[in-house]
């Protein structure tokens, strides 16, 4: 079972960004997390989302809590996941 944690790659399952991938940048409470695409990479802007509207993947990127989009893009490149992040899942 994958856990909700900072740096976990997720897939949005609801809303206009459904099918796009994002990364958990911060944990707000048990129901909400802060995600970011980053927007330059996956077109998902930084926002608070309900954990029921995301699906966790088994991929994890090493970032610190509240990392900037630039830091996140650098971590994605270092992990070799840039192409994986750009892929869309068709809902």
In our burial notation (b when 16+ CB lie closer than 10 A, e otherwise), range 53-67 reads: bbebeebbbebeeeb
- The average pLDDT across 16-31 equals 94
Task: Say what the pTM is.
Answer: 0.92
Reduced to 3 states (helix: H, G, I; strand: E, B; else coil), residue 10 is strand
**Residue 50 CB-density burial (10 A; 0-12 exposed, 13-18 middle, 19+ buried):** exposed
pLDDT digit string (tens) for 41-57?
999 999 999 999 999 99
DSSP 15: S
- Residue 76 pLDDT greater than 80, yes or no: yes
Q: What is the mean pLDDT of the chain?
A: 93
What pLDDT, on a 0 to 100 scale, did the predictor assign at position 1? 63
pLDDT of residue 85: 93
What the chain holds in terms of domains, given with CATH numbers, is 8-86 (2.30.30.30)
The pair of three-digit structure tokens given for residue 21, joined into one six-digit string? 């991938």
pLDDT at 59 over 70: yes
């Amino acid at each position: 079972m994958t856990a909700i944690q900072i740096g976990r790659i997720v897939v949005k399952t609801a809303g206009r960004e459904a099918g796009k991938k994002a990364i958990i940048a911060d944990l707000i409470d048990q129901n909400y997390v802060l995600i970011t695409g980053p927007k330059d990479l996956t077109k998902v802007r930084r926002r608070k989302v309900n954990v029921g509207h995301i699906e966790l993947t088994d991929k994890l990127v090493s970032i610190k809590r509240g990392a900037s989009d630039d830091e996140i893009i650098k971590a994605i490149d270092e992990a070799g996941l840039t192409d994986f992040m750009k892929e869309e899942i068709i809902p």
